[in-house]
Structure 1
Amino acid sequence: GIKLLDRLGRQVEPTPAGRLFYRHGSTILADTQRAVEAMEQFSGRIAGRLLIGSSTIPGTYILPDLIGRFHQRYPAVRTTLLINGSRTIAQKVLAGELELGLVGAKWNESGLEWKEIFADELVLAVRAGHPLAVRETVTLEDVVKEPFILREQESGTRKVFAEVLKAHGLTENDLHEVAEIGSTAAIKEAVKAGIGVSILSSRALRDGIACKTIAGIKLQNADLYRHFYMISRKNRELSPVTAVFMEYLHKKAAFPVLDAGSG
């Protein structure tokens, strides 16, 4: 027979034939799953596996509620939600590992379909009790004076803020950077602890604002609205379950800008 695996000490790696077999086998399994879902849909029943990828903000603060309501309508659907950076999710959609993704940035990628689905306002997050917390708005001049916590390089939030800085003749080098943290939740805790301030999604601050542990302040003269996009691979036929969920998202996500309210 053809050797599919090589054993290298304690590790096992696929041979070239093994990788080829895996690629074709994955395609067969995916086609089989689509056929099963199509038969379910033909009988009037939506069932099957829904596999979605998402960047941090929609995956943490938007999709769980929408998926919950989707499951109430279609209880036979089982969902797997993968949360990662926007570019990682896009790569997985391109590679066929995911059918559908929600990401917080858009770039030139001819192999993907991009559909804007909602917008979220970014605000300056400061700890409760911070001198700026009582302000309704702040300027970029105020921001550059504060110890600042950046998101990781891949972050869509960081990209939007960098563009705002550039529009005002500034760069990230003008910030008083004290940390770079790759998690919105971790940055929120760092802000609460007084390590610094940061630019975050207003949606992500709602709980902290309600509990009065953090404040979200709008920036003057700055277009800090971040857009989120639903992505799928061009010319790929979606599974029935994914197609139904995409249609559901289109209907539910026509909501206004997600605003955390005043801080």
Structure 2
Amino acid sequence: MDPKISYFQTFLVAAKTKSFSKAAKKLGVTQGTVSNHIAALEKFFDAQLFLRTPEGVDLTPEGKILYEHSEKILDYINNAKQQMRILHEHPEGTIRVAASTTPGEHILPSIIREYRKEFKDVDFEITITDSEKCFKMLEEGSADIAAVGHLYDKNYDYVVIGKDRLVLIVPPNHPLAKKGVATLSDILKEDYIDREKGSGTREVIINALQDRGYSIMDLHVVMSLGSTSSVITAVSEGYGISIISEIAAKKAAEAGLVKIVPVEDLDLTRYLYLVKGKRPKNPSAVKSFWDFVSE
């Protein structure tokens, strides 16, 4: 069995005090523990390290070699611990984030801005994709953290970073815009612009439809698009209607691109999550950011 760091510490104290009993007293252990540590080192190095004398113990030539290197080993370890402690207090480097559209474009920027007021040496590399691919990136180790609108895998640590409501958007001159309210039956009659498979938004819609006894197949899907912005563009140009995050919809509505129409009989609320990967490339920075968000 390889010796532990504590064995080298025991060896150094025994060498300096020239006594196993004095070393035991100084270390707060039994003399038998000191003897066991020294015996383990002698077995590992296949060398006698101490000579017993009437006054106590003296180092052998082999023991003197180990003494010199043991001090260096412990110095290196203590220096490494000190540098790690400093890094924990002042993290630096890059955090790789995989984010779905809504949290990535509308929630994360403000969180990161506040975090970087305190930790200026941490940068963020953000990849915008769908929620399902975010989890794949965590699994592959190509992302340290994910920000998503749907939990595809609950075997990760996660924290809620926001609450979102999905809303129906229609072209400004659409009949439903004039009506001012919609029902599920209205939506089922219209050309529908869907998000791509793997989208957290799409999963919320699927679940809401299932609660009403329907499936995504009951929608008249005319196209599937890979981002909220592309859906907004398609709706504004009259290709159909869609359901997207209220956060993004409000901005588009204020710009006059679409109209938001409340849906009376669908529950379209959801939470937005930050999910921590199991193998972060920069553990100190990730822990710092995670603690900041979790406070």
Same topology, TM > 0.5 = yes
SS at match of 1:219: coil
Inter-partner Cα distance in structure 2 for 1:58 and 1:146 = 28
What TM-score does the superposition give when structure 2 sets the normalisation length?
0.66
Inter-partner Cα distance in structure 1 for 2:95 and 2:277 = 16
Inter-partner Cα distance in structure 2 for 1:192 and 1:102 = 27
Asked if 1 retains the 8 angstrom alpha-carbon contact of 2:143 and 2:277, the reply is: no
Inter-partner Cα distance in structure 2 for 1:86 and 1:216 = 24
Asked if 2 retains the 8 angstrom alpha-carbon contact of 1:37 and 1:48, the reply is: no
Counterpart of 1:38?
Answer: 84
Q: Residues 13-24 of structure 1 correspond to what in structure 2 (within 5 A)?
A: none
SS at match of 2:233: helix
Inter-partner Cα distance in structure 2 for 1:192 and 1:122 = 17
Asked if 2 retains the 8 angstrom alpha-carbon contact of 1:117 and 1:230, the reply is: yes
SS at match of 1:137: coil
Counterpart of 1:52?
Answer: 97
Q: CA RMSD in A?
A: 2.6
Counterpart of 1:246?
Answer: 290
Flag the structure with higher helix content: 2
Label 1:248 to 1:134 Cα distance change in 2 as closer, same or farther (>3 A). farther
Following TM superposition, by how much is the alpha carbon of 1:114 offset from its aligned partner in structure 2, in angstroms? Answer: 3.1
Following TM superposition, by how much is the alpha carbon of 1:241 offset from its aligned partner in structure 2, in angstroms? Answer: 1.6
Following TM superposition, by how much is the alpha carbon of 1:232 offset from its aligned partner in structure 2, in angstroms? Answer: 1.9
Q: Determine which of 160, 163, 184 is the counterpart of 1:119.
A: 163
**Larger relative contact order (Cα-Cα within 8 Å, sequence gap ≥ 6):** 1
How many percent identity over aligned positions?
A: 28
Q: Determine which of 102, 109, 126 is the counterpart of 1:81.
A: 126
Equivalent pairs, count? 216
SS at match of 2:234: helix
Following TM superposition, by how much is the alpha carbon of 1:217 offset from its aligned partner in structure 2, in angstroms? Answer: 2.0
Following TM superposition, by how much is the alpha carbon of 1:82 offset from its aligned partner in structure 2, in angstroms? Answer: 1.5
Following TM superposition, by how much is the alpha carbon of 1:155 offset from its aligned partner in structure 2, in angstroms? Answer: 1.0
Inter-partner Cα distance in structure 2 for 1:204 and 1:132 = 19
Inter-partner Cα distance in structure 1 for 2:82 and 2:189 = 59
Counterpart of 2:248?
Answer: 204
Aligned pair 1:64/2:109, yes or no? Answer: yes
Inter-partner Cα distance in structure 1 for 2:137 and 2:166 = 27
Cα deviation code 1:59-98 (max 9, x no counterpart) = 1121123222322332222211111221221122123222
Following TM superposition, by how much is the alpha carbon of 1:116 offset from its aligned partner in structure 2, in angstroms? Answer: 3.0
What TM-score does the superposition give when structure 1 sets the normalisation length?
0.73
Q: Residues 146-185 of structure 1 correspond to what in structure 2 (within 5 A)?
A: 146-185=190-229
- Rg larger in 1 or in 2? 2
Inter-partner Cα distance in structure 2 for 1:135 and 1:35 = 67
Following TM superposition, by how much is the alpha carbon of 1:187 offset from its aligned partner in structure 2, in angstroms? Answer: 0.6
Flag the structure with higher strand content: 1
Q: Determine which of 142, 146, 153 is the counterpart of 1:97.
A: 142
Unaligned runs of 5+ in 1: 1-33, 252-263
Inter-partner Cα distance in structure 2 for 1:99 and 1:227 = 20
Q: Which amino acid aligns with 2:190?
A: E
Counterpart of 1:3?
Answer: none
